[in-house]
Structures are given as C-alpha cells and as structure tokens.
Amino acid sequence: MRGGARYFRIIEEIASKAVYSLHLQTYIFDEDETGTAVANALKAAARRGVLVYVLLDGYASQKLSSAFIDDLKAAGVYFRFFEPFFRGSSYYFGRRLHHKVVVADGYYGLVGGVNISNRYNDMEDRPAWLDWAMFVEGDVAQRLDKICVRMWNRGVFASRCLAGSNPSMVSPPEKCLVRVSRNDWVFRRTEITNSYRMLFTLAHKEITIMTSYFWPPQGILRRMVIAARSGKRVRVVLTGHADVPLVKYAERYLYDRLLRNNVEVYEYQKNVLHGKIAIADRQWATVGSYNLNTISAFASVELNLEVQDAAVAGHLCDAVDEIILADCKRITSQSFVASAGPISRVLYYLSFRIIQLLFALFTFYFSQKKKGS
C-alpha cells in the first residue's frame, strides 16, 4: 500500500484488534495530529489490558515532550528510546533504529518506510509524502513479533518483554512467500544489502527501484551499471523535491554515470518521495525502511519484507508505472546536460564529497568485544 491516511487507519485497526501484545517501533514519532491519533490508539489498547511496547529512535524522536511520554506511560504503555549517543561498555555514534514496524499478537503486521508524523499523512492542506508499506497476516508476523521482542529486550534498563502471540489465531488460507530481511551492520546483519546485490544479477529483464536519499555503496552501483549495460531495463525513481537539498545535489552527481550506462532516471514531482522499494521481473519485491545508500547499508537498523509473488509484485509494479506516467519527469542525458552547467556540476560534486564526510562522522563507532564472541 501507499502511505498516507490509509496507512494510519490500518495502524489504528491493528491496535484495536490486539488482544495480547502490540509493538510499535519506528524512527520518527512526532507530537502532532498524526502522532496524537496513533498515541490514542496505543493507549486505548493498553487500557484494555494489551501489553503495548513502543520503541523509538532516541535521536529522531527526541523532540517528544515529557508530558506526552508520561501520558503514554500513565495509560500502561511501555515506552523507551533506542540507543542514546553513548552507551555502557560499547560506544556507538550514529547507529539508529530506522525500521518502521507495527505487530499485534504475532499475527497482524505492518512494515514500511512511513514515520509517525503529519508529513507522512494526508492532511487538509497538503498530501502525504510518497511512501510504501506492506500489511501481512499469519506466520511472517510471528517472526516480526520475535524481532520486536529482541529489540526491546536489548535495552539495559528496559522492563523485560515476555508477551507472545495469540494462540487462537490460525494462518490465513491465502498465502505467498514472504521473507523478513534485516540490516544491522554493527551486529553483522547485511541481509537487505545482500538482496540488492543479488537483485541485479538474478533479475532477467527488468528492475525498478524507488528510493530516497540515493547514494548506493560502490559495489551495488557497479552491479546496477553492469545490469543496465547487459540489456536489462533498470529504472531508478528518485525525488525531485528533497527535504534535504544537499542530498539531492549529491544524488545528481551520480546521474551522469547512470545515464551514460543506460539506467533510466526519473524524478518524482508531486511531493517529496520517501519510499523505499525494489521490484524485479514483476515476480519479486522488497518493501521497508532500507534506503539505497551507505547509511542504511552500514549504520542503521533496517527491516524489509521481501515477497516472491507475481500478484503482489505485479500490483506494485503497476502502481509505480502509474506514478512514473502521471507524476514523474524523466531525466535524459540531453536534459541533464542542458540543466546542469559547470557551476551546478561543481556544486553536485562538492555535495557528494560533503555527504561522504558526513557519513564517515555519522557512522563512526568504537566497540570492544570479547575475543571469540
């Protein structure tokens, strides 16, 4: 599904169905109309006796007021922040909880790139940023539940989470192949990055990528170029209106290489593009929090769902085709040369180098682990 009002309605529906446990883990949780509505749904579940656990990134959600947090806790919601700048025996600077997950009773699950904020919702004065999520029921939600429990229990001072799944639930009759894929480089998890690496090798005809904050690791960028030069159709859909202009300039530094090697580049014009998806041959798709950049690959805690199903992947591909046709501008070699003069190209180059430097600072960490661990 696309983000926006429907996404937040589903969060509220999941919360209303929860009987035993409810987890919400996300990067940004803002204290605005959208955040208040979600908080109300969480508090209502807790008052019914549901064990509700909320884990937010300690950097991106730090603006939440003490009164807002205290109100959640007073209703019975277990609340904590993930990873402050420094912690205990290991010192990390830059590691962030970037995944966006909601799961109830180990049966209903919602995974995507959508944060809890008005920017991601359809408001009266402006539409939502373009984003994606996937709703699941059944076995895969049990896996999501276990991941959420483990993430919560890593907190040194956190109350232990022992909530399990609802034993009365049975798997739905309609099934497709779904895999939970994670990235947490500090703990040597690189499953999503590996999937992107394999994507360009294993796809037969067509690869479509939609992502925000695009500066992929060199190995993935090289595979993308090789796939396009070998005759596979490779499309990259990026934002035309970035919330961080420096990042947009850095992205455009890569356009010349992409265009010279037959990669189709599109810029979304309607609003800010925040979605993170990839589709291969209308048979396989990945949806989640992972941006195709080095921060997602080497710094943040990320989670995607990978689906091997022609109906799901085909539906998503059709939706992207419609967006490209209605709301995107194609960037060609000719249009890029015409719009990017010498001064712009210098700006793009400098922005790219600055982003690289900021990345090095953002992901700097020092960790001492026991030998043999």
pLDDT mean over 284-303: 93
DSSP symbol at 32: S
* pLDDT score at 214: 93
| pLDDT tens column, 94-119 | 578 999 999 999 999 999 999 999 99
| pLDDT tens column, 9-55 | 999 999 999 999 999 999 999 999 999 999 999 999 999 999 999 99
- The answer to whether 161 and 314 are in contact (CB under 8 A) is no
* pLDDT score at 279: 98
* pLDDT score at 339: 87
Instruction: Name the residue ranges covered by the structural domains of the chain.
Output: 5-175, 179-359
Residue 40, phi then psi, degrees to nearest 5 = -60, -40
The alpha carbon of 17 is separated from its chain's Cα centroid by a whole number of angstroms, namely 24
* pLDDT score at 169: 65
Question: Is pLDDT of 155 > 80?
Answer: no
The whole-angstrom separation of Cα 8 and Cα 2 is 11
Question: Is pLDDT of 262 > 50?
Answer: yes
* pLDDT score at 88: 46
As a residue count, the chain comes to 373
* pLDDT score at 245: 86
Question: Is pLDDT of 164 > 80?
Answer: no
What is the residue-averaged pLDDT of the chain? 89
| pLDDT tens column, 201-232 | 999 999 999 999 998 989 999 999 999 999 99
The letter for the amino acid at 229 is R
3-state SS of 131-150?
CEEEEEECHHHHHHHHHHHH
* pLDDT score at 146: 93
The letter for the amino acid at 353 is R
The whole-angstrom separation of Cα 107 and Cα 137 is 5
Total-model pTM: 0.90
| pLDDT tens column, 294-324 | 889 888 899 999 999 999 999 999 999 999 9
pLDDT mean over 237-264: 92
pLDDT band at 366 (very low <50, low <70, confident <90, very high): very low
Question: Is pLDDT of 90 > 50?
Answer: no
pLDDT band at 161 (very low <50, low <70, confident <90, very high): confident
Q: Are strands 108-112 and 100-104 parallel, antiparallel or unpaired?
A: antiparallel
DSSP symbol at 340: -
- Buried/exposed code over 296-308 (b: 16+ C-beta within 10 A; e: otherwise): bbbbbbbbbbbbe
Greatest pairwise CA separation for the chain in angstroms: 65
Whether 5-175 shares its CATH topology with 179-359 is answered: yes
CATH placement of domain 179-359: 3.30.870.10
* pLDDT score at 91: 45
* pLDDT score at 168: 63
* pLDDT score at 157: 57
Question: Is pLDDT of 365 > 50?
Answer: no
* pLDDT score at 305: 98
* pLDDT score at 185: 82
CATH class of the 5-175 domain in this structure: alpha beta
Catalytic residues: 98, 100, 105, 274, 276, 281
pLDDT band at 154 (very low <50, low <70, confident <90, very high): confident
Alpha helices in the chain (DSSP H): 5-17, 33-47, 66-74, 139-153, 191-202, 218-229, 245-253, 255-260, 294-298, 310-327, 333-339, 342-362
